[in-house]
Amino acid sequence: MTSEDYNRKVRVNLVLQCPVPACRGKSFAPLRSSPLTVTVDWQLIKIQELMSDAQREAGRIPRTIECELVHDLVDSCVPGDTVTITGIVKVSNTEEGSRNKNDKCMFLLYIESNSVSNSKGQKSQTAEDGSQHGTLMEFSLKDLYAIQEIQAEENLLKLIVNSLCPVIFGHELVKAGLTLALFGGSQKYTDDKNRIPIRGDPHILIVGDPGLGKSQMLQAACNVAPRGVYVCGNTTTSSGLTVTLSKDSSSGDFALEAGALVLGDQGICGIDEFDKMGNQHQALLEAMEQQSISLAKAGVVCSLPARTSIIAAANPVGGHYNKAKTVSENLKMGSALLSRFDLVFILLDTPNEQHDHLLSEHVIAVRAGKQKTISSAAVARTLSQDSNTSVLEVVSEKPLSERLKVAPGEKIDPIPHQLLRKYVGYARQYVHPRLSIEAAQALQDFYLELRKQSQRMSSSPITTRQLESLIRLTEARARLELREEATKEDAEDIIEIMKHSMLGTYSDEFGNLDFERSQHGSGMSNRSTAKRFISALNSIAERTYNNIFQYHQLRQIAKELNIQVAVFENFIGSLNDQGYLLKKGPKIYQLQTM
């Protein structure tokens, strides 16, 4: 159940009438300075029922009820916790604070709590050095044995990636990115007196054509996370994402009501339909980089923690991804928000005979309940008895995307989600990895190479944020195997995932890597070629006073200018998309930039 934190109040017991027969007065004032006055800690929380699949009823919103906590129960839970409360149901006095004084027979129920059992995550404790540890989970001896068994697996990354969402076929590197977001990097503090934290939570954006299973992967990641919140962008307001200030009807006090990002503190917040959010992207800017949400409303100025990883899924504008446009134009999203995502995966639905054959087999097997394609047999020990080299060393020469794939005949026993949640919680709570010197050197070399390439292309979309992303993800890769030090192999895996992410972000419609595409601009694949072609058309139009061109004329002009493009029709189509040319009829174009 979700608890909402309210301000503490002091509770004073009052009698209704003076017991002295001569007085019988009904107006009292508390003697606050009297030694007989006893004050106790008192807190009012509001709990909301969990709407699980078994209890879900059609067309009913979750019910809420207020609970009174006293003495040591105060502050035993924070917003977002799943709690079980034992107590006595009582009726509150409706006359005070009631708008309609005639409603004297109305029952307002509340629970006087005797115990609070916090099952999903307990309140964060502050260590001696001031750093916050994650939500504390309790582990039984059985859980610890299971965690030890998982850690002893040979190719652990492959096992966890294929356990994340076994229903969706393929997309191994995207699942690997989501897995790294689940584990997260270590939060660090800079060496100044204010101890400004450097965020350790990676953010991931998945953009792609419809029907590729983005929402399924998102929900799987939120289910596995020790604390996960899943919201949909088209039914979400900015105050529902961050925090809202409401007035309590009974007491008249202002109360803060936590939104999705605050409820997902030290966990994961999945936002589906990210492109349908309209103007609410601005609400995320502070939460994604500063890991906090500032509020200034009705005289209340405060800052709430929102240390959460944001995983977003979006459809491109117009349904299908247009490679002639930039990511920013495909999403109608500003570059300020786009630069805050550590990994941007672009999923394209391109027909491929072999892949389509495997995918259709997988879908039919899932529907039919067969175990042929879904590998659910016990995974065999891959360490051979007679040789000292493990299979991991043999396959490490292959690229990561090949290593994560399940071969058609191979059987993998996926880890159940409840157990995987315990494993992720254990890793986040107890493992705080640091970079080794070799890993830091590998990341620095890759970053400097990226900067060189982007400088050569006369633009600089590669910033220090990309370097911090690489460090965060490398730490998450080490944390996945419960290691305290990130090695060079971890860094190489992360570099490959980052290259795969950038290949989609920065490659144009001809497959060439172009770093200017991440900027919000014309989005042409080869800017100088397009500029040269359009300026030639401009000069011809000014000379002939005619800005209408036939398709064969355009082809002839391109031939004279010696413009080399792979498919000329696509080149003209991309110019049409960008608004340089306007298609007036079959094979007739009008120049717009004259």
Average the pLDDT over 506-524 and give the result. Answer: 45
Instruction: Please give the sequence-ordered ranges of beta strands (E in DSSP) within 49-167, or none if there are none.
Output: 64-70, 83-92, 108-118
> Residue 4 pairs with which residues in a beta bridge?
46
Selection from 261, 262, 260, 256 nearest residue 244 by Cα: 256
CA–CA separation, 258 vs 239, rounded Å? Answer: 9
Q: Are strands 64-70 and 41-48 parallel, antiparallel or unpaired?
A: antiparallel
pLDDT digits (tens, 9 = 90+) for 386-408: 333 333 333 346 777 788 888 77
- Name which of 412-421, 438-447, 495-504, 541-550 the model is least confident about: 495-504
| pLDDT for residue 84 is more than 70 | yes
- Residue 3 DSSP symbol: E
Whole-number percent of the chain with pLDDT over 70: 77
* Helix H or strand E segment including 314: strand 309-314
Question: Phi and psi for 20 in degrees, rounded to 5?
Answer: -70, 125
**pLDDT category of residue 96 using cuts at 50, 70 and 90:** low
Average pLDDT over the chain, rounded to whole? 76
List Cβ neighbours of 216 (8 Å cut-off, separation of 6 or more). Answer: 165, 167, 168
pLDDT digits (tens, 9 = 90+) for 109-138: 889 999 888 765 444 443 333 344 445 677
CA–CA separation, 507 vs 525, rounded Å? Answer: 8
Q: What is the pLDDT of residue 190?
A: 55
Q: What is the pLDDT of residue 280?
A: 76
Q: What is the pLDDT of residue 524?
A: 41
Which range in 2-6, 163-167, 437-441, 560-564 is most confidently predicted, on average pLDDT? 437-441
419 CB burial (10 A radius; 0-12, 13-18, 19+): middle
- Residue 113 DSSP symbol: E
Selection from 319, 309, 351 nearest residue 208 by Cα: 319
pLDDT digits (tens, 9 = 90+) for 337-365: 888 888 888 888 888 888 888 888 888 88
pLDDT digits (tens, 9 = 90+) for 218-260: 988 988 888 888 998 888 888 888 888 887 766 667 777 888 8
CB 415 within 8 A of CB 159: yes
Q: Are strands 41-48 and 9-10 parallel, antiparallel or unpaired?
A: antiparallel
For helices 464-480 and 172-183, angle between their N-to-C axes, nearest 10 degrees: 90
CA–CA separation, 413 vs 155, rounded Å? Answer: 12
Tokens read off for 244: 């809202």
Cα separation values, 580 from 57, 456, 467, 586, Å: 54, 26, 36, 17
**pLDDT category of residue 270 using cuts at 50, 70 and 90:** very high
Q: What is the pLDDT of residue 88?
A: 93
Average the pLDDT over 178-192 and give the result. Answer: 78
| pLDDT for residue 461 is more than 70 | no
Q: Are strands 292-297 and 300-305 parallel, antiparallel or unpaired?
A: antiparallel
List Cβ neighbours of 255 (8 Å cut-off, separation of 6 or more). Answer: 4, 6, 7, 245, 246, 247, 248
CA–CA separation, 295 vs 37, rounded Å? Answer: 36
How many angstroms separate the first and last alpha carbons of the chain?
A: 63
- Name which of 96-100, 114-118, 362-366, 555-559 the model is least confident about: 96-100
CB 442 within 8 A of CB 491: yes
| pLDDT for residue 383 is more than 50 | no
* Helix H or strand E segment including 241: helix 238-241
Q: What is the pLDDT of residue 438?
A: 92
Would you tell me how many other CB atoms lie within 10 Å of the CB of residue 427?
A: 25
Q: What is the pLDDT of residue 271?
A: 92
| pLDDT for residue 67 is more than 50 | yes
- Name which of 6-10, 18-22, 46-50 the model is least confident about: 6-10
Average the pLDDT over 307-317 and give the result. Answer: 89
- Name which of 64-73, 165-174, 435-444, 561-570 the model is least confident about: 561-570
Q: What is the pLDDT of residue 156?
A: 87
pTM: 0.71
pLDDT digits (tens, 9 = 90+) for 421-460: 889 989 988 888 888 999 999 999 988 888 877 654 433 3
Tokens read off for 280: 């609410």
Average the pLDDT over 75-92 and give the result. Answer: 84
**pLDDT category of residue 285 using cuts at 50, 70 and 90:** confident
Selection from 333, 225, 227, 224 nearest residue 276 by Cα: 333
CA–CA separation, 182 vs 36, rounded Å? Answer: 53
**pLDDT category of residue 311 using cuts at 50, 70 and 90:** very high
- Name which of 3-12, 75-84, 116-125, 489-498 the model is least confident about: 3-12
Tokens read off for 430: 């107890």
CA–CA separation, 202 vs 465, rounded Å? Answer: 11
| pLDDT for residue 52 is more than 80 | no
> Residue 310 pairs with which residues in a beta bridge?
269
**pLDDT category of residue 269 using cuts at 50, 70 and 90:** very high
Average the pLDDT over 187-206 and give the result. Answer: 74
Amino acid at 153: E
Please list the alpha-helical segments (H only) found in 41-126.
Answer: none
CA–CA separation, 217 vs 482, rounded Å? Answer: 24
Distance from CA of residue 197 to its chain's centroid?
A: 19
| pLDDT for residue 487 is more than 80 | yes
